[in-house]
Chains A and B, each alone.
Chain A
Amino acid sequence: MTSRIEIYSPEGLRLDGRRWNEVRHFRCAINTHPVSSDGSSIIEQGNTKVICNVIGPAEPTLRSRSGDRLGISVKIIVAPFSTIERRKRPQSDSRIQEMCSSIQHVFEDAVIAHLFPRSQIDVNLYIVAQDGGVLQACINATTLALIDAGVPMYDYVCACTAGMLDREVLLDMNRIEESDMAFLTMATIGATRKVSLLQLEMKVQFDRLEPMMAAAMSGCHHVRDLMDNEVRKHGKSRRQMGSL
């Protein structure tokens, strides 16, 4: 199928003028909703915008969920105006439920859970605009919101996507690129080589898998540095304001 859009030009430029190994414009802010939640963050990766609210640790809503470790309950609300065509997505949509369960498992392991027995953290994610890389934005937003809420974590959990177009690896794809090629979403624990989440949805030759994973990993490490900068900047400004 020939498309009139050139995803990757022969000069090495993508649709938005990036090179293959450049992530999109990353903007994040934490403590954006100080009143309504214990921790909050807004992440913008290119045109994908996600808001995250964290409430907790608090008493669990379902008695059956209380155990000797912290439970995390994730809810994702996709705004109907988040895509080009206005579409209402029911909460029971299997894609959304799968994302919720993935994020829950990622953070149940990333948070120092045994410090909070019989407690629960509610994570609410609002996807305001979708332009590819939604799961990665959700994971990054949740990390920042949990840090803002003061929940002890072993390390940042950073996520990034990488795709393979013929033989070219592309990092951090937008919606048009995602629909046109095989891509994977990877979430790492900080700047280590440990992978918490890995999701590949379209067929890819096995030999092309390694470069994709390597690119995604370096993307994750880069995102970690970006998030760390913002957290430290925020901490400094809070200290200066005297609220600490």
Chain B
Amino acid sequence: MPRDLTPSTLENTFVLKALTERVRLDNRSFNQLRDLDVSFSSTEYGLVDVKLGRTRVIARISAEITQPYPDRPYDGLFLISTEISPMAAPTFEAGRKSEDELVISRIIEKSIRRSGALDTEALCIISGEKCWAVRADVHFLDHDGGLLDAACIAVSAGLLHFRRPDITIEGVGSRREVIVHPITERVPVPLAVLHVPVCVTFSFFDVRKASSAVAGVPSKDEMKAENDDDDIEEEGDSSIAVLVDATLQEELLRHGYMSVTANTNREICQIQKGGEMPVEVGTLLSCSEAAIIVAEKVTKLINKRLKEDETRRNVGNLLVESRAENDR
């Protein structure tokens, strides 16, 4: 049975001491995200590969026609599956839900489904009888911290990229037929995505513990580091280090965390601050504000990649010509 990865006391002490000197082991600033790369498949719609540093996540969006729930005849279905297999890291067991998995699946549910990123009413075909069931499958390929953030970006990007087949309804009344047009016949239709949620995880470290762990007391000069303008914790407690986008090692050593999902409309879709390590309210508010800035950056990157993907697919300008939209 794979055991939990517990970092050694030496690692713990080293990372904490480095944080008191405002140094992260990979030399990022406290607010800096790792290198994010979003790449869309050139052959299939709705397949997106997200690399956040060394963390790698793939999301696959698919749609099929099914019956809607009886109590919601005007809504389509939207399912997100975030099962972590041992491929991501040996500590995950196939079939058994670890606590990390539970947290990730709940937060993705809240960020994307409950916040209404996908308009489910637009998925209705014939109310009460037929609707689209959109399914987002997230596959975690490599775990280096930030699985939640990468998964959220992957699903959001996938929803924007995916195209479902166009349909026409023929006949009237009970003899209505739904004809699904293959891609070769009709240009597939994008999903109605209302907003692009991006999840950002903040890790909290109690740097006061560093001084007790290291032999000798750190000098006053070490504690007073140079101030960057956009550092979060200057407004709140200076005894807490707040890191954005933790690597696996930072994740295992952190004392607390908070996941904030934001979008470019300056809306906060969800906040989940776990029970570990109480934090000042002001710090939490600054984190939420920082999450909005990150969401804007990430959304810009996703849109840029989407445009590149479209030009790649748009060989000979056929896509543009076959569209029925008028130029404005």
Residues of A at the B interface (CB closer than 8 Å) are: 94-95, 97-98, 101-109, 184, 187-189, 192-207, 209-210, 213, 217
- Please judge, given known A-B contacts A203-B116, A206-B268, whether A104 and B278 are in contact too, CB under 8 Å: no
Q: A104-B275, A203-B267 are in contact. List 6 more A-B contacts (CB 8 A).
A: A94-B105, A107-B275, A193-B282, A197-B274, A198-B271, A206-B267
For B106, the chain A residues whose CB sits under 8 A away are 94-95, 98
Q: Can you list 13 pairs linking A and B with CB atoms under 8 Å apart?
A: A98-B103, A98-B106, A101-B102, A103-B275, A108-B276, A198-B258, A199-B271, A201-B114, A203-B268, A205-B268, A206-B292, A209-B285, A213-B285
Instruction: Find A101's partner among B99, B279, B282 (CB 8 Å cutoff).
Output: B99
For B258, the chain A residues whose CB sits under 8 A away are 198
The residues in B between 270 and 307 inclusive whose CB is less than 8 angstroms from any CB of A are 270-282, 284-285, 288-289, 292
For A97, the chain B residues whose CB sits under 8 A away are 102
How many Å lie between the Cα of A101 and that of B268 in the bound state? 23
Instruction: Find B285's partner among A187, A194, A200, A210 (CB 8 Å cutoff).
Output: A210
Q: What residue in chain B is nearest A182 (Cβ atoms)?
A: B268
For B241, the chain A residues whose CB sits under 8 A away are none
Query: Are A196 and B114 in touch, CB under 8 angstroms?
Result: no
Min Cβ gap A165→B in Å is 16
Min Cβ gap A191→B in Å is 13
Number of interface residues of B (CB under 8 A): 33
Report which residue of B116, B275, B289 has the largest number of chain A beta carbons within 10 angstroms of its beta carbon: B275
Q: What residue in chain A is nearest B277 (Cβ atoms)?
A: A109
Residues of B at the A interface (CB closer than 8 Å) are: 99, 102-103, 105-106, 110, 114-116, 258, 262, 266-282, 284-285, 288-289, 292
How many Å lie between the Cα of A94 and that of B281 in the bound state? 28
Min Cβ gap B112→A in Å is 11
Report which residue of A95, A189, A205, A209 has the largest number of chain B beta carbons within 10 angstroms of its beta carbon: A209
Q: What residue in chain A is nearest B109 (Cβ atoms)?
A: A94
Query: Are A189 and B274 in touch, CB under 8 angstroms?
Result: no
Instruction: Find B288's partner among A94, A95, A107, A209 (CB 8 Å cutoff).
Output: A209
Query: Are B275 and A205 in touch, CB under 8 angstroms?
Result: no
Q: What residue in chain B is nearest A200 (Cβ atoms)?
A: B271
Query: Are A194 and B279 in touch, CB under 8 angstroms?
Result: yes
Min Cβ gap A175→B in Å is 17
Q: What residue in chain B is nearest A206 (Cβ atoms)?
A: B266
Query: Are A202 and B115 in touch, CB under 8 angstroms?
Result: yes
Min Cβ gap B165→A in Å is 30
How many Å lie between the Cα of A197 and that of B259 in the bound state? 12
Query: Are A195 and B266 in touch, CB under 8 angstroms?
Result: no
